[in-house]
């Protein structure tokens, strides 16, 4: 295979004190080490999606381009009230056709012991409706505040 698989790694929240960004960056850095893929990091903070829906005026052209070029997605979502954040939903909702029949892997994050499993389960329902094909397994980051070193690597005891 000559061409690399392009994977968009998506962070799931714009919250100012967000911890889940560390897990998203960890997945991104991990992906950079896999020779067969090209990874691009998608931070919902970097985009602007006015209003709701997927009408032209509610899109961000930079996000449109990323989703168009992506062969696959990896979404890392924190759990907010047993679901995923509205900012992630708003970003995902802004497109549709660019997702259809592409694979998506999901990662969950929480500050407790469950690792965001309920957010991931809730997200499965939405991404399926968007035409994405969800992978068989997901990855979970429980107690995210204790997992990473300052440089973003996993602490020794968590490897």
Look up residue 11 and give its two tokens: 């962070």
Please give the Cα distance from 44 to 30 (Å, whole number). 20
Which span (18-26, 38-46, 65-73, 147-155) binds ligand FMN, by CB under 6 A? 18-26
Among 42, 75, 122, 144, binds ligand FMN (CB under 6 A): 144
What minimum distance in Å lies between the beta carbon of 108 and ligand FMN? 9
Among 15, 64, 96, 134, binds ligand FMN (CB under 6 A): 15
Contact between 112 and ligand FMN (CB under 6 A)?
Answer: yes
What minimum distance in Å lies between the beta carbon of 21 and ligand FMN? 6
Among 41, 47, 74, 80, binds ligand FMN (CB under 6 A): 80
Helices 86-93 and 117-129 pack at an angle, to 10 degrees, of 20
Question: For residue 73, what are the contacts with CB-CB under 8 A and spacing of at least 6?
Answer: 7, 8, 9, 10, 99, 102, 103, 104, 105, 132
Which span (28-36, 65-73, 79-87, 128-136) binds ligand FMN, by CB under 6 A? 79-87
Are the C-beta atoms of 88 and 118 separated by less than 8 Å?
no
Please give the Cα distance from 15 to 17 (Å, whole number). 6
Interacting residues toward ligand FMN by CB under 6 A: 13, 15, 18-20, 78-82, 109-112, 114, 144
């Amino acid at each position: 295979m000559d061409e690399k698989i392009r994977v968009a790694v998506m962070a799931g929240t714009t919250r100012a004190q967000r911890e889940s960004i560390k897990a998203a960056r960890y997945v991104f850095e991990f992906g950079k080490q896999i020779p067969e893929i090209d990874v691009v990091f998608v931070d919902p903070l970097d985009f602007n999606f006015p209003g709701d829906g997927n009408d032209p005026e509610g899109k961000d052209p930079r996000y449109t381009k990323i989703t168009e070029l992506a062969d696959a997605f990896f979404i890392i979502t924190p759990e907010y009230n047993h679901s995923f954040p509205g900012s992630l939903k708003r970003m995902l909702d802004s497109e549709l056709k660019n997702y259809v029949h592409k694979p998506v892997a999901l990662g969950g994050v929480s500050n407790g012991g469950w690792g965001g499993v309920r957010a991931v389960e809730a997200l499965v329902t939405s991404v399926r409706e968007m035409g994405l094909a969800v992978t068989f397994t997901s990855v979970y980051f429980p107690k995210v505040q204790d997992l990473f070193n300052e440089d973003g690597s996993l602490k020794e005891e968590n490897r």
